Homo-oligomer: A and B are copies of this chain.
Amino acid sequence: MSSHPAPAGAPSPALVFDTLFAYQRSAALRAAIEIGLFRALGDGPGDAAALARRCSASERGTRILCDFLTVQGLISKTDGRYAHTLTSATFLDPASPACVASTARFLGNPMIQEPFGRLAEIVRAGCTVLPGHGAVEPENPAWVEFAHSMAPMMAPMAAPLGSIALDGIVGPVSVLDIAAGHGLFGIEVAKQNPRARIVAVDWAAVLEVARANARKAGVEDRYETRPGSAFEVEFGGPHQIALLTNFLHHFDPPTCVRLLRKVHASLKPGGRVAALEFVPAEDRISPPMAASFSLTMLATTEAGDAYTLRELEAMYREAGFAGVSGHPVPTGPHTVVVGRAV
């Protein structure tokens, strides 16, 4: 967003100032979602005065916010009238089925925001400044918010994950869905295989959200919930498939191995575990979103990380899995890491 012209060939501080001001981009988009700007743009283009009326906001605030969002490329402006771009119409207007605006609520949650305000302290200490066990503190209410608001970010990855997890399996199948959250992943497997039965594990308050989603998807009769810590609750089984979505990154490798052993014990011989993870390349600096995710784990957990495929394979092997393979999801920044119980 910067413009610090410099003599040709001379270094420019533009990237430094862009980075120092980047927090304003997040704040502006969150504010626009909160005042209902993208819903208002769905009623048609308008100038600042018209949009301010639709949002019950001030004209000065609306004009300045809309100009800023236009500079960011999120909306457009022509002859003083603002309009949706394809991006905002698709992903920010609540009338769109692909709208991801709700994710701003989880991403603006104090559990996420506060540690980033104290990041130097966290880098010095090497772990979160959140109380208790941080993000994975038992019954942390942030995960109810996650279950309510993050489904639209995860939805595009459900179908690929389901296909990979079910690959080659026909007929009745028992599926353990650990840290089910919104429940979308287990529900997708139940939709892809009409004889699949799902056992969902998460905190009780989170499972209420998952169960409501299972009901909406018409699979509630094949949907069992087991509230409690994934490290303590009885998994039942034996299962053929275990889903571990966005979960391992919260823990250090020994804790991951302990959990994977418990998962292994709940699987039939030849059963498989399918984790959905941010998996950076061995250089840990690519691809950008997977590599960047480690910082959120530094900020919010005691010892979590985005693990490379080699690190995950070592944990899987130690826990009794073989044939470990990584499957980048074409519709998102995640990778499905599959292992076979031996």
Contact = CB atoms under 8 A, between A and B. Distances in A.
Interface of A: 1-6, 11-13, 15-17, 19-32, 34-35, 55-65, 67-68, 70-74, 77, 86-87, 90-92, 98, 100, 103-104, 107, 113, 116-117, 119-120, 122-127, 153, 280, 283-292, 294-298, 303, 305, 330-333
Given A11-B86, A19-B72, A20-B29, A125 B292 contact: no
A90 B11 contact: yes
B68 A294 contact: yes
20 contacts: A1-B288, A3-B287, A4-B289, A5-B331, A11-B86, A12-B87, A13-B90, A13-B98, A16-B74, A16-B87, A16-B92, A20-B107, A23-B27, A27-B116, A57-B124, A59-B126, A62-B123, A64-B123, A65-B123, A77-B285
Secondary structure call for the A interface: helix
A32 to B, nearest CB: 8
A220 to B, nearest CB: 29
A304 to B, nearest CB: 10
Given A3-B333, A67-B294, A120-B30, A60 B126 contact: yes
B57 A116 contact: no
Contacts of A71: 285-286, 288, 291-292
Given A20-B104, A73-B15, A294 B330 contact: no
A1 B292 contact: yes
Given A22-B23, A64-B294, A100 B59 contact: no
Contacts of A20: 26, 29-30, 103-104, 107
A31 B295 CA distance: 12
A294 to B, nearest CB: 5
- List of 9 A-B pairs having minimum Cβ-Cβ separation, nearest first: A58-B126, A61-B123, A34-B120, A31-B119, A23-B26, A22-B22, A23-B23, A22-B25, A27-B116
Contacts of A107: 20-21
A312 B13 CA distance: 28
B288 A58 contact: no
A117 B28 CA distance: 10
Contacts of A103: 17, 20
